[in-house]
Amino acid sequence: MKEDLEKYLGRQIVLDTRSSWVYLGTLENVTDESAILKNADVHDSSDTSTSKDLYVFESRQTGVKPNRSRVYVNLNQVISFSLIEEIKKF
C-alpha cells in the first residue's frame, strides 16, 4: 500500500479505515507504518447520524475542514484510499 499511496503525495485524499473513523487531508508523507496527512479532517462517524460516505461527499462539495495540523494514520487500519476529487455523488 505504501508505494501506491506515495503516488498521491501533495494531493488531497480520503483514507477509509476498518473503524468508524475517516481521514481527509493532504498526503504529506508515507512511512512503512503510517500515512501522514497535513491540514486533516479527522471524523468519527459514530459521533453523528451522518454516514462516512455522506460525510466524505459533503466534504468534497464544501471543502475539507481541517481539525488537525498533522495526523499519522496507521496503515494497518486503512482499507481503502482515493483522491477527494474522485468522490462521486451517490
- Distance, C-alpha 22 to centroid of its chain: 6
For 1-90, where are the E strands, in sequence order? 12-17, 21-30, 34-44, 68-74, 78-83
Better-scored residue on pLDDT, 45 or 72: 72
For 9-44, the pLDDT digits (tens) are: 999 999 999 999 999 999 999 999 999 999 999 999
Compute CA distances 32 → 15, 51, 57, 71, whole Å: 16, 30, 29, 15
**Domain coverage including residue 27:** 2-86
pLDDT, the chain, mean: 94
Domain count across the chain: 1
Read off the pLDDT of each residue in 45-65 and give the average, rounded to a whole number.
89
What CATH number should be reported for the domain holding residue 49?
2.30.30.100
**Which residues have C-beta within 8 Å of that of residue 44, sequence separation ≥ 6?**
20, 21
